Amino acid sequence: MRPLHERRCAPWPADRPALIPTDTQALLAQIDGWALTDDGTAIERELRFDDFHRVMAFVNALAWIAHREDHHPDLVVGYGRCTVRFQTHSAGGLTDNDFICAAKVDRLTAD
């Protein structure tokens, strides 16, 4: 299997359930700085930046990924920070698509 950040999102079949915890943990181990939310239905990462302009530049790069993959995060944006949350609402939990997008976000900020 190719690394997550090299994969592309694909529509998740309506009758396919969300990932089970074992699969979730295996994928979580492949991304950096993300945590499961308390209810286990989403992954979340907070990123810090020096100023508002840098936050916005990041948000726009993230928006490009989201549009290209047709998979959209929820964001909380403030001065110097952005929390990114991925989940697959239609599946009621996490799918490969969430981890693929998370890995692409990681590539934006990787050294």
Nearer to a copy of itself, 22 or 78 (CB): 78
Q: Is 8 in the site for a copy of itself (CB under 8 A)?
A: no
Distance from chain centroid for Cα 66: 9
Q: Which of 1, 78, 110, 111 binds a copy of itself (CB under 8 A)?
A: 78
Question: How far is 80 from 98, CA to CA, in rounded Å?
Answer: 24
SS3 state of residue 49: coil
Minimum distance from residue 33 beta carbon to a copy of itself (Å) = 20
Contact with a copy of itself (CB under 8 A) among 75, 96, 107, 108: 75
The angle at the Cα of 107, spanning 42 to 24, to the nearest 5 degrees, equals 30
CB of 52 to a copy of itself, least distance (A): 5
Choice between 50 and 111, CB closer to a copy of itself: 50
Q: Considering only 5-13, 27-35, 48-56, 102-110, which stretch makes contact with a copy of itself by CB under 8 A?
A: 48-56
Distance CA 67, CA 34 (A): 21
Residue 103 parent element (H or E): helix 96-109
